[in-house]
Structure 1
């Protein structure tokens, strides 16, 4: 008689879980720190709204997602009888969380104040917009959980990764680098240590995670030099926020923010799509490392955690991290995700996370984002065919236009800005108006430009024509190349004057080039088709 002993129940914690916990915790704290840095430091957003309204719900999404991934890992271990199953790490997504702060929440707060709202009212409206944005992205991810692989087959990898790499290099790289160098000694030393341990793969003479050591050294330098009078001008110790219980109760406040998400859909929809693509990639990565999670389950948990965070007041979406094999190599199993979820979730409710974030200097947090930008851009080139490199570089340029567009109002007087965007010359359309038009919807623009050139390289000229016609249709309604100063969408017959001219010129450019490529596909000089 065949009697097989039941598989032993996996242990809740092993020694490697501590290493995994520190690594995953620092990642999440860094992103929360940058969100607060961007909103409070760059946009003068009320700190109370960030710490008592936005952070508890955002942290709660991390708690829910990590608890579910912990349970999934324990179920897989029990089913297979293996004790070396490592849970999928979940946390706040760096590119889109930073993008939400710099490209959605911050500009929306400024726009609400420009409409005459008080800073307090504008902050609440911005918070509701952030909630609604998460609900929109969560619903998109929920639907795409069932069709995500079909989406990834329709667009080349260079298009999907290149668009986010453009954000990384131009926005996540340059803007945090400027913050790093505002306190040069602490910031530059922190950046150098991070590059040493993460890119050069050097080892520090301390039995601690390298990122944690870099943070400690940078923070010590920042406060040590500041207290000695040798730090950056304007140094001051932050005020400690007393711990207080803020429960992230579900709220219908996101309904108030839904109408305000419309101008930001060209940003929000690609953000959600990229997380689905990332979820598929990390599932394959975990499978290659020996942990066979069902892709749809990974995506559904990601979507559910984002929805929960949005309904409970969060403003940054969760995602499974690409480094699951790295956590497995650390010896982590399922305890590290449980520890991280509990620490971040409960710490967010008690105000502990907010207190820690306030004491981490901007110049010390920013270098971590600079490293993330370098890593994302590097991975984009490594994970795509070398022949598509030129296509991906082209996709970076709309991000440059967006950077100029968000900085121009601070550099140019309002009356001069209006003249520069409404006065054409003998060379064609106003240059600054072209910059704004190219920057609006830049993520989708980058995806379509990269996909078009990649298709051309592969000899699929008719496929390239289709991408161009899709771009023309989106430009017609302002989903890309919006001529609305706020980047909003519209009906084409609502446009007048120069705005109408610019819009139709861009639409016409796409249609004409699509026709040219379609005709070239019938010529003997067309590139040979590759798979």
Structure 2
């Protein structure tokens, strides 16, 4: 750990490593902005004036506020501790929610009404409700984090990193290997291997430049990499202009007429955001930077609320990946500068030009790198004996990802799992019902299963029983292991099963005898000290 001579000195806003983190994190944000722009334009068929004139400027404002605030938290931590290695929490659009609000909330309303404005208003209301869930959760989050083992929190997070963060970029990298693998090698050599390029030019920038050159060079000789054409690039310039976000609170409240549809997903996904933010704060603490949990969670809610009241239907979230940006040298400035750059790109309509110029596959290897780093952190930052708990905590995310792949494949064939039948799927080894049950509320389910296992390993059977009872309650009300959303008695069989686990563990806590070789008690005592 590096430290300033005097505690309370003025930390540096920018260091050399911030360049690497800026291009890495900045391109991560850019990919997400490009994806959501495509969802708005080509899935929801929203008019370009609404997308580039209202939604993206409000999104840019939200991201600038978010990255600026977390840069301030890092600056304040560095000033108080005198450390020079503090790295700001990354933040941006919540990627899972980006698809949920598009396909589960806005698209059905767009198809039912044929009115993109009403779909937009429903999205704003969805974020409005989630914002208050996050703000309320900010006050209970520290207690959840205090009683939950690190292996459970990081294990569930690793499940997200392996599935929803890494698998799609990895598949796209290998679908277009001439660009993807080359760019991936450039990034790995720089960020893992320490290789320097051209006098210290950031590896992320080199990878994007190399990928773009390969893509346009291939296009010039008649190959198709990323559907890049000069005609589309020229047409993208028409979106240049200056647009500032305008108040949209009347649109937000107009969306309350769809409250019944919205509540089904807004509350459980608000809780998902709360748990994921706790995971990411714990991940940052494991990397050496402890931020105040309440201030982080409530800030997510407040910033998302401001964004939706200005016209942005996508929620803000603390991102997975803090250890990755810190490992490549990021400190404070990378976060704030990312927000400023995104503000410029969205307020001046430059996003359309970038999407027509840079192939997405040149950017995706950066997400794959982050997924690798976070997946490995769960094992590196937890006691070795907790490794089985981490593996168990991964499984709900793997199940959720697998179910998503099955649903998408069947949807492409214009059918569903219900139409095909679970029995027929089971005959070919596709255990759809089991995946749906295991993957329901995957983030929270992973934490519960991981915590139970950690406390069993540590012989803290009463604590394990308490988490099993929490699993009973969460399952009964549909927060985990349920496919129908929150409610009452959603998965009674699973709830009863958790109750049985709790009863057994409580009995063992009172009456069981244990083999002394089953656990290295000296290791436990040393870690407690």
Which interval holds the TM-score relative to the shorter structure? 0.7 to 0.9
1:215 aligns with 2:217: no
SS at match of 2:402: helix
Paired with 1:183 and 1:426, the residues of 2 have a C-alpha distance of: 33
User: Paired residue for 1:272?
Assistant: 274
Aligned residue number for residue 451 of structure 1: 451
Match of 1:510 in 2: 498
Q: Give the deviation of 1:389 after TM superposition.
A: 1.5
Kindly report which structure 2 residues correspond to 1:268-307, keeping only aligned pairs within 5 A, or say none.
Answer: 268-279=270-281, 282=284, 301-307=299-305
Cα offset for 1:34? 4.5
The Cα offsets for residues 73-123 of structure 1, whole Å up to 9 and x where unpaired, read as: 77789x8898x9688645534xx722223455345455546x6343x53x8
- Tell me the CA shift for residue 369 of structure 1: 1.6
Partner SS for 1:116: helix
Secondary structure of the structure 1 residue equivalent to 2:201: coil
Shift of 1:318: 4.3
Does the 8 Å contact 2:440/2:482 carry over to 1?
yes
- Cα pair 2:27 2:363 within 8 Å, conserved: no
Pick which of 173-182 and 234-243 moved more: 234-243
Structure 1 residue 516: deviation in Å?
Answer: 2.2
Residues 437-476 of structure 1 mapped to structure 2, 5 A cutoff: 437-476=437-476
Query: When the two structures are superposed, what TM-score results if normalisation uses the length of structure 2?
Result: 0.78
Structure 1 residues 73 and 449: alpha-carbon distance in aligned structure 2, compared to 1, 3 A threshold? closer
Give the Cα–Cα distance (whole angstroms) in 2 for the partners of residues 76 and 108 of structure 1: 39
Quote how far apart the aligned CAs of 1:214 are: 0.4
8 Å contact from structure 1 (residues 222, 361) kept in 2: yes
Q: Is the counterpart of residue 170 in structure 1 residue 163 in structure 2?
A: yes
In structure 2, do the counterparts of structure 1 residues 191 and 261 end up closer, same or farther at CA, with 3 Å as the change threshold?
farther
Instruction: State whether residues 283 and 294 of structure 1, in contact with CA within 8 Å, keep that contact through their aligned partners in structure 2.
Output: no
Give me the whole-angstrom Cα distance separating, in 1, the residues matched to 2:156 and 2:73.
Answer: 31
Contact 2:475/2:495 (<8 A) preserved: yes
The answer on whether the counterparts of 1:172 and 1:369 sit within 8 Å (CA) in structure 2 is yes
Uncovered stretches (5+) of structure 1, i.e. residues with no partner: 1-6, 496-502
C-alpha change, 1:324 and 1:406, in structure 2 (3 Å) is closer
In structure 2, relative to structure 1, the CA distance for the partners of 1:355 and 1:473 (3 Å cut) is same
Tell me: CA distance 1:395–1:69, structure 2 relative to 1, closer, same or farther (3 Å). Answer: closer
* TM-score (structure 1 length as normaliser): 0.78
Query: What residue in structure 2 maps to residue 197 of structure 1?
Result: 190
CA contact (8 A) 2:155 2:390 kept: yes
For residues 285-309 of structure 1, the C-alpha deviation after alignment (integer angstroms, 9 at most, x for no partner) is 6768xxxx86765655454333322
**Number of matched residues?**
496
Gaps of 5+ in 2: 1-7
Aligned to 1:525: 514
Give the deviation of 1:189 after TM superposition: 1.3
State the match for 1:312 in structure 2: 310
Cα RMSD between the aligned structures?
A: 4.0
